[in-house]
Amino acid sequence: MVVGVHRPTRLVIDRAALRHNIHAEVERLDKNCELFMVVKANGYGHGAIQVAQAAKDAGATGFCVAILDEALELRAAGFNDPILILGVTSPADAPLMAAEDISATVAATDWLADAQAYLALEKDLTAPLHVHLALDTGMGRIGFRTVPELTTAIEYVDAHQESLDFEGIFTHFSTADSPDEHYFKQQVAKWHELTDHLPRRPRYVHVSNSATSLWHAECNDNMVRFGVSGYGLNPSGTAIKPPYALQPAMSLTSELVFTKQIAAGDSVGYGATYTAQQAEWVGTVPIGYADGYERRLQGFHVLVDGHACEIIGRVCMDQIMVRLPHDYSRGTTVTLVGQDHGAEITLQDVATYCETIHYEIACGFTSRLPRRYLN
């Protein structure tokens, strides 16, 4: 998709906010605990390369991604730090991951056998493939579920140390962001059941996502995977207050490109779903659902000169219409996410209106929106 650089709509990413959030968490960690910044999905929509650099500046020592291509993007950008792929990759890509010093998540012993077969075909590899064994303690997504399965996997890796390196072991908590700790404690118990009698500990032992590190730091062990909180977003939404102030790094702004006054009885937008009850000033803003600005945001609001201005009519593919308190000149700033004259719209506000989570909103902004970086 083309980037809309000749349009006044853009995402603004504050690198100082990224550094603040990440450094604040680094300062809370035990001295033997490392922070890997999660930069999957283009850095949760913030820009993976720019986020990775800000994270490294703030004390992160490695990165987590979801797919191999995201890891390769970091390598191509010159990052030589440890990178862990959190998702399952193809065993056929094991030689490429080994060559690029990228760590793979492993969820089954047959994957190890298939990967080892591909690695054995490569005569020029100088280092083994680093693997992190994923444990399913209750997330129900990927991972080993029993001690015999895990033991078999570790024994297989140890038997093929020339091509496989047992670098890490981890799990993922599904309710660490909830005030109700019942299921979280069940997962902790399952983790200990699987790991307390390991024949040996690998270099990295990690269970903590952002929520776990914020509210259950006693579980951190020697690495945390810091994700959404690094971007200044509360992983619990509004359910639990973070231990320190998070600074949102993303804002979304545009401009009025057209204004007009409509009369009582005039309708606006597809389906004529909005009809004016009196004379009103209406402004058009160049953003729409093709940019990831959800169609269901009809009835929500934007900020113009600090005023909350309702989105009237359906959100179009490329434009929205808003009701103004009075006429404004073309080029007046419109804030869709962020602060404006003392008023604020947060990603959480947008997500709440859409009955979803702020992760989805941030990741949903498309590449047509240019990212501008501050600080």
Residues making up the binding site for substrate: 141, 317
The answer for residues whose C-beta is within 8 angstroms of residue 304's C-beta and 6 or more apart is 256, 283, 322, 324, 325, 328, 332, 333, 334, 335, 340
User: What is the identity of the amino acid at 76?
Assistant: A
Both tokens of 123, joined, read: 């005569």
Interior CA angle at 241 toward 237 and 245, to 5°?
100
Reduce the DSSP state of residue 10 to 3 states and report it: strand
Report d(CA 176, CA 7) in Å as an integer: 41
Known active-site residue 185: no
Q: Which residues are annotated as a binding site?
A: 141, 317
Nearest one of 192, 196, 226 to 33, comparing CA atoms: 226
Q: How many CB atoms lie within 10 A of CB 182?
A: 8
How many H-runs (helices) and E-runs (strands) does the chain carry?
11, 20
Strand bridging mode 301-304 / 307-312? antiparallel
Say if CB 217 and CB 191 are below 8 A apart: no
Known active-site residue 293: no
Say if CB 351 and CB 234 are below 8 A apart: no
Both tokens of 257, joined, read: 């490109």
Instruction: Enter the DSSP assignment of 8.
Output: S
The single residue of 40, 118, 274, 293 carrying the catalytic annotation is 40
The single residue of 185, 204, 270, 274 carrying the catalytic annotation is 270
Q: Tell me the residue ranges of DSSP E strands in 227-288.
A: 250-255, 258-262, 267-268, 274-275, 280-285
Helix 15-28 with 48-58: angle, nearest 10 deg: 40
Both tokens of 85, joined, read: 């792929």
Residue 45 falls in which region: left (phi positive, over 0), alpha (psi -120 to 50) or beta:
left
For residue 37, list its beta bridge partners: 63, 226
What amino acid positions are annotated as catalytic residues?
Answer: 40, 270
